[in-house]
Amino acid sequence: MQNRLVVENINFSYGKNKVLDNISFTAENGIIALLGNNGAGKTTLMNVLTGLKPAKHGKARLNDLDLLNTKEYPLHKVGYLPQNFNIYNNITGLDFLSYVYDLKNIKKSNKKTYIQEIVEKFHLGSVINQRVGKYSGGYKRRLGSSWSTSPYHNR
Ligand SMILES: Nc1ncnc2c1ncn2[C@@H]1O[C@H](COP(=O)(O)OP(=O)(O)O)[C@@H](O)[C@H]1O
Ligand SMILES: [Mg+2]
């Protein structure tokens, strides 16, 4: 699927500290890097684009969807794996994926198939029934990226 994220004149301030000053860019399919010094505002921008922080001005459109003014944020279309990715250690990877899909309002009838596909695609089969607390750092990130980058959300 061809995707297009158009960001226009995003502004964000913490009190008087203006952190995002008219940020505009367009991103299409592929790997896009957002580079900046520590404190440049990368995390703040990601929080705005994922609906975690409200922008005062500006627009962000994902394909034909207005990301900043939707009544309900389109959780099923957007994934985000932050640097510090903490999950419940006492549940299995399978329970975790199931929980994530519930949060994303994925239809129950599709859930099992999506999870199976993801487990296969991300080679999680050997650990998926183990407690997440036992995962190595690499497997934890793999579990996190499996759902946050999944194309299945668009179905
Ligand atoms: N919750 C917050 N309250 C006040 N200031 C913040 C908060 N989060 C970040 N900042 C400030 O906003 C600026 C951008 O931070 P951040 O978006 O975390 O940058 P980056 O992710 O690029 O390192 C920094 O000056 C930081 O101190
Ligand atoms: Mg950051």
What does the pLDDT look like over 71-81, one tens digit per residue?
888 877 888 88
Question: What are 60-102's pLDDT values in tens digits?
Answer: 999 989 999 888 888 778 888 877 777 789 999 999 999 988 8
Q: Is residue 150 very low, low, confident or very high in pLDDT (cuts 50, 70, 90)? A: low
Smallest CA separation from ligand 1 atom 8, residue: 44
Residue 23 clears pLDDT 60, i.e. is over it: yes
Q: Which amino acid is at 11?
A: N
Residue 29 clears pLDDT 70, i.e. is over it: yes
In the reported structure, the alpha carbon of residue 41 is separated from the centroid of ligand 1 by a whole-number distance in angstroms of 6
Q: What is the chain's mean pLDDT, rounded?
A: 89
Q: How far is CA 71 from CA 12, 68, 113, 127, in A?
A: 20, 9, 29, 37
What is the H or E stretch that residue 7 is in?
strand 4-14
- CA atoms of 145 and 100, how far apart (whole Å): 12
Q: How many residues does the chain have?
A: 155
Tokens 């409200």 identify what position?
A: 54
Q: Which ligand 1 atom lies nearest to the CA of residue 36?
A: 22
